[in-house]
Amino acid sequence: MRVIIKENYDEMSKRAAQIVAEQIRLKPDCVLGLATGSTPLGLYKELIRLHREEGLDFSKVITFNLDEYIGLPPEHPQSYHYFMYQNFFNHLNIDPRFIYIPHGMTQDVERFCNWYEKEIERFGGIDLQILGIGANGHIGFNEPGSSLGSRTRIKTLTKKTIEDNARFFEKMEDVPKYAITMGIGTIMDAKKQLLLASGKNKAKAISQAIEGPISQVVPASILQLHRWVTVVLDKDAASMLKMEYFEE
């Protein structure tokens, strides 16, 4: 596991974007696993800049998003489908046929999840998976207690995650209680992992994930078993780490 600590969020985002850009240049038709939330916004902003100013080409890139809320249509402002188009896809030369996001309005969740897994396999698997981390150590919507071998499926969100998401909705009762998420086993199948974290509220989860024991209680800790993981942090998110880390 390679841990890179940058001074602040902007530097963290730019360093992460360099890693993604290197992957795209190495393999123009690469498969990217994408995350939502506030953490990767800076990364996406920098990738858009690289596309516009330096010609980074997304025309052959295939993307699979980690998760989506159950019950939110794609046009809902808080759906991850809407988030990805507004903050990323609308600003690139990406082919819409190569964009995969879990469908929150599916009538047959199990069948859809099986199909999603097969589509990932059809493209040869994910080359680089971008991840954020929840304050409770979750990746995707794989909450504490999730099976470390799980596949894409429906998950009930914890009270903590629902409370964290409440700021995006007018009323608490509007916050979705369920989501479709790639499983931990699905995530671990990716050839490379890129985990991002920013802010002191993520410091405990990061220290547990990187330096703590591998446990279902901290789902992100499973990344310790992956052979190619890069973690990019700002100083606040790294503030509880005990070991020394050097970019070199």
186 sits in which H/E element: helix 184-188
Residue 243 lies in a domain: no
pLDDT at 248: 62
Query: How do residues 102-123 score in pLDDT, each as one tens digit?
Result: 999 999 999 999 999 999 999 9
- Residue of 115, 165, 133, 148 whose CA lies nearest to 216: 148
Cα-Cα-Cα-Cα dihedral sign, residues 125, 135, 87, 21: negative
pLDDT at 166: 86
- How many CB atoms lie under 10 A from the CB of residue 248? 3
Residue 233 lies in a domain: no
Per residue, the 3-state secondary structure of 123-185, as one string, reads CCCCCEEEECCCCCCCECCECCCCCCCCCCEEEECCHHHHHHHHHHCCCHHHCCCEEEECCHH
**Which of the residues in the chain have pLDDT under 50?**
none
Strand order in the sheet with 2-6: 2-6, 229-234, 192-197, 128-131, 31-34, 62-65, 99-100
Calpha distance 103→117 (Å, rounded): 13
- How many CB atoms lie under 10 A from the CB of residue 201? 13
Residue 242 lies in a domain: no
Q: What is the CATH number of the domain that holds 216?
A: 3.40.50.1360
Q: How many domains does the chain have?
A: 1
Rounded to two decimals, the pTM is 0.95
Residue 122 lies in a domain: yes
Calpha distance 145→93 (Å, rounded): 39
Q: How far is CA 91 from CA 49, 52, 85, in A?
A: 9, 9, 8
Residue 92 lies in a domain: yes
- Residue of 181, 248, 247 whose CA lies nearest to 219: 181
The catalytic residue positions are 67, 136, 138, 143
Residues of the domain holding 49: 2-137+147-226
